[in-house]
Amino acid sequence: MQEPNQYLATTLRRLRKERGWSLDACAQATGVSKAMLGQIERGESSPTVATLWKIAGGFNTSLSTFLEPVPESGPGPLFRQPESLRHRPAGDGMLVAPLFPFEARFGFEMLELTLLPGYQRLSEPHEPGVIEHVIVQQGEPELLLDGHWQRLGPGAAVRFHGDRPHGYRNTGTSEAVFYNLIHYPA
């Protein structure tokens, strides 16, 4: 298996070439500078989660597309362990484990997200029709919906429109861990 930065570089370059985009066209579509995209493609830069979301949005694809290949499906169950899947893009205060990367046949990706103490991320709206489902495992993350922060405790579950501004933060002193199932319209 490739290192995360190398997988990201290869995937970005492949998707850009498939679309026939220059780095300029890719920068225009994603809102990420041409210089940064070039550094990512060369494996010289590890982008933040926010930058990865911008790139995914520009390509109209999932975040997990850039983190790890889709696991091969076999006749039996597919077991995944978050400990072996966690990525910490660019030293962000968020760790991402793509438990089930996006597969078109299912229409969703499922991530385990860990917010370190003090971390906050404001998310731009995703593509129209994207729905997010959040289920808290540990800690008390806060979710920004309709301009208001709402504290969630262990076991809390929320479904919301991801195509509107939203955010995540951890104002606590320990990690906040939750599962995020993101459904993309067909």
pLDDT in tens, 117-172: 999 999 888 889 999 999 999 999 999 999 999 999 999 999 999 999 999 999 99
Torsion angle of C-alpha atoms 99, 162, 41, 110, degrees rounded to 10: 10
In a domain? residue 53? yes
Residues 101 and 156 in one domain: yes
Residue entry with tokens 């709206």: 125
Task: Please give the share of the chain, as a percent, with pLDDT higher than 70.
Answer: 96
Predicted confidence (pLDDT) at residue 67 exceeds the cutoff of 60: yes
Spatial separation of the C-alpha atoms in residues 166 and 185, rounded to whole Å: 19
> Tell me, what's the pLDDT at 106?
92
CA–centroid distance for 164 within its chain: 16
The answer to whether position 71 is within a domain reads no
Whichever domain contains 35, its CATH number is 1.10.260.40
User: What is the mean predicted confidence (pLDDT) over 37-52?
Assistant: 90
In a domain, 111, yes or no: yes
Q: Which residues of 10-22 are buried (b: 16+ CB within 10 A; e: fewer)?
A: ebbeebbeeeebe
Instruction: For residues 31-59, give the mean pLDDT.
Output: 91
174 and 124 fall within a common domain: yes
Instruction: Give the total number of structural domains in the chain.
Output: 2
**Cα distance from N-terminal residue to C-terminal residue, the chain:** 29
Structural domain for 151, as ranges: 82-183
Q: Do 101 and 47 share a structural domain? A: no
Is the model's pLDDT at 72 over the cut of 90?
no
Q: What's 153's domain CATH number?
A: 2.60.120.10
Residue closest to 30 by CA, chosen among 5, 8, 51: 51
| 164 domain residue, yes or no | yes
Among 17, 40, 66, the domain-final residue is: 66
> Model-level pTM?
0.86
- In the predicted model, what is the mean pLDDT of residues 101-119? 94
Please say which residue of 41, 66, 91 terminates a domain: 66
Answer yes or no: do 176 and 145 share one domain: yes
Average pLDDT, the chain: 91
